[in-house]
Structure 1
Amino acid sequence: MEKYLANATTKPANMQRKSESTPETATYYQAWRVSLNGYPPSAAFSKPGHWIQYHLTRDMLNGIISDWDNVASWGLSRTTGKAIRPGNYHPAAKSRKNPAAPLTAYLRIAKDDSGPKNILYHGVGRDAAGASALSRGGVNTVSVYDPFHPDEKVRTLCAGPFDEIHSHYTLNVVDKPTGKLILTELHTLLRDGGTAIVSVRDDI
């Protein structure tokens, strides 16, 4: 998990609460507006004003990473008062009875007629419903990963390669250097001919 916190923020002095015993070492959840310039999102799978969704091949991921400073746009929306604590869910991870909205849209629209897939849900958080839905009734094999998950097994990144990798809203809660790290992981784990489904919020 430490690699994802390398650039995380500490809480400004005027935001610290008296009850915080070690505020100088705490890291806090930030929300970011994210876009990938030159890589249009998939219009059919996006809901402007709510989320946009990128469908990225390995070559596209390589192009994004190689020209990171020009392609990746990260704008800080806000710094919250929610501390990121080791061994706990990320504070942005919401309890869900249904899959995350962009994943629900993807599953509704995308045809799954190419046979069984090996799928990774990167940054699964609390979205167990989404991971289950990705299996499409057990047809696909789904692995989950989240560096902030309470389960140590989920905090261990799977080896791959994967036919499909999902990342929904994760980039909105990490800074730009960490975003590059995540997309580099996706590039490494994605099979040639595979697709990374990356959704970012369009309402912050």
Structure 2
Amino acid sequence: MLEKLHERLQAHAPRRLGLSLPQAAVLIPIVARPEPTLLFTRRAAHLKQHGGQVAFPGGKREPDDPDLLTTALREAQEEIALPPRRVRLLGRLGDLISLHGIRVTPFVGLIPADLPLRPELGELDSIFEVPLTVFLDDQRSHTDVITVNGRPLYVPSYQAGEHVIWGLSSMMLVELLAVGFERPISLDRAPDDSRLHYRPEARQPVFDDSSDA
């Protein structure tokens, strides 16, 4: 399954936004267990932005970062003590724009199951894993409807114990599931059997159709 994922992501031409905005990158870590999992972080509750929210490891690009992959790996090392050399890069997903006007680029990486990871407590409250099957089987708790420039986006929300996975992280997951695992999931259509939660209209586009590829 994971080798096929690698092939599909390598063949994928991800969306690249041609907008002049601050840049950030995240790593979507897939843990190579007999039953693979996805690794998430929960931001520290005291943070002014995104406090208490679930996210993938990542952050803003620093001036010394030669590229965005370096940003994603550096942030993962700082946040969860993940050595960059232990990450097998599987591919890149399309750029998104956060509500704070930051262009975010996701990278998908495979990591071993036996790493002694730990959260950077100044930034994170915890690290946790969720079985990949939760997302492959579309075990969403509900669907958030987020209107962007008059266009509704149907974003899955997942409940993993005490954690809620939604928003930008879920948008990344939709692309990962559709491209990497050929699941029939899309932000452009509502699922047939999910409760809809309507959220306020977004102030910034989460993506557009311009490209600098």
TM-score normalised over the length of structure 2: 0.28
Structure with the bigger RCO (C-alpha within 8 Å, sep 6+) is: 1
Q: Report which of the two has the higher share of helix.
A: 1
TM-score normalised over the length of structure 1: 0.29
